Amino acid sequence: MFKSLTTRIILTTITLLVCGIFLYTFFNVRHQQAQLIDTARESTELLLHTVENSIYNTMHLGNVQDVGSILAMVGQHNQLVGVRVFHPHGVILRSSNPSEVGRTVSPNDYKLYQGPKQYGIFDFPPHGEVLSMVKPIYNEAACHACHGNKTKVIGILNIDYSLRRTKMQMLESSRIFLFSSVAITAFLSITISWILFKFVKRPLDSIVSTMSLVENGDLSVRIQNHGKDEIGRLVTSFNSMLDRLDGAKKELEQLHFNQLERADRLASIGEMAAGIAHEIKNPLAGISAAVTIIKDDYSATDPRYEILKEVLQQVQRLDKTVNDLLFFGKPSLPELACIDINDVIDKTLKFASQHRGLMNIEKRLELAPDLPAVYADGKQMQQVFLNLFLNAFQAMAGGGI
């Protein structure tokens, strides 16, 4: 399964898609959680300023006892765990919960007052996580009548804001994002898989199946594809290649057929040549015998003796040629020996000079003296030079040298 290119592309794409979407979801959820915490902090800070202003106004009017009533009224807010004013030494002076008055404030709230930050998130059983915020109440000139002027801070206003609803909102937001991410991932995975199967895997499967038919020798198949993308261009090139292969195959078949016809004709010519060779051999044998008898009637000093001897040699050469023709396809091995090439040319020219067409042509034989011996077949070399002489004669239609 994993050997399929399409499958690997789909799995890789889905994996990257899932990682990307869930990474985006993670950071987005974290960002929204931070925003919800900031919103809760802003609400707590606004409420803290409201309570602070109310306390200042009440104290300016000299109604110090009304501070507890203000805190009790504000503490009725369903998101507030507690609202209190504690002494810089940590003793609670006023509170929305009267039972807290006189007790020591919680260590987290007191550390928050002593630290640089004015707010923090702490675990407050049984209310869960709360956002605590503190704000010093400074000893202003209007407060000197009651608190004197020795201390700079006469109290610390502390509010504990429950984050239960904020946590529920964060959880709901996370669920929505997670569900959306799963839905988007599933939709995109299905869509990408469908696109790859339709526009990539199906054309590739068609190409593979067509190539299998081509391997079996069927060059008439073609792939039907009308796309203009890379796959479409590949299919077009593949069909063009099949057209050229089909044309080349037909040309080869025609050439093979022509070669078979030529072979049949050559076989017929060979049979006819063998018949002709048989017809020539018998007269050549008679001629050879007759020339031998006539030659023996002349002495070795007689010029005609040399001519008849040359004629006899040419008859023997013709007989060898006829034998080679009879054994066409199985040519005889050359009879190699050290020969004088000048002597071969001289004898060949003398024999060719007996030709009727060469009688009126002036012949000049200019041979380089002292040529080294050549290791070759004398009869075959004589045939070569004879062909050259006859070709030269045929090329001189008006005579010449």
pLDDT of residue 303: 79
Residue 236, domain member (yes or no): no
Name the nearest CA neighbour of 161 among 66, 96, 92: 96
- Note the pTM of the prediction, 2 decimals: 0.45
11 in the same domain as 144 = yes
CATH, residue 65: 3.30.450.20
Look at residue 154 and tell me if it is in a domain: yes
Q: Give the pLDDT band of residue 326 (cuts 50, 70, 90).
A: low
Last residue of some domain: 145, 172, 199? Answer: 172
What does the pLDDT read at residue 66? 62
- What's the mean pLDDT when you consider all of the chain? 77
pLDDT tens-place string over residues 97-156? 888 888 888 888 888 888 888 778 877 777 778 888 888 887 776 666 566 667 777 788
pLDDT band at 299 (very low <50, low <70, confident <90, very high): confident
165 shares its domain with 16: yes
Residue 135: per-residue pLDDT? 83
Residues 300 and 159 in one domain: no
pLDDT at residue 181 greater than cutoff 60: yes
Same domain (yes/no): 19, 155: yes
Q: Which has more confidence, 57 or 256?
A: 256
DSSP assignment of 126-193, as one string?
TTEEEEEEEEEEE--GGGHHHH-SS-SEEEEEEEEEE-HHHHHHHHHHHHHHHHHHHHHHHHHHHHHH
Q: How far apart are CA 90 and CA 73, in angstroms?
A: 23
pLDDT attached to residue 3: 63
Q: How many residues does the chain have?
A: 401
At residue 400, the pLDDT reads 55
Query: In the prediction, which pLDDT does 227 show?
Result: 67
Residue 1 scores a pLDDT above 60? no
Of 144 and 382, which is predicted with more confidence? 382
Domain boundary, last residue among 147, 172, 197: 172
Residue 305's pLDDT is 80
pLDDT at 294: 81
For residue 119, tell me if it sits in a domain: yes
Q: Residue 368: inside a domain, yes or no?
A: yes
Tell me which residue range forms the domain holding 165: 5-172
Alpha-carbon span 36 to 15, nearest angstrom? 31
Average pLDDT over residues 295-300: 78
Provide the pLDDT for residue 329: 45
- Given 172, 201, 229, which residue is the final one in a domain? 172
* Domain count of the fold of the chain: 2
pLDDT given at position 82 = 79
Which pLDDT tens digit goes with each residue over 146-156?
666 677 777 88
Q: Give, in order, the Cα–Cα distances in Å from 98 to each of 63, 65, 75, 102, 352.
A: 18, 13, 11, 9, 151
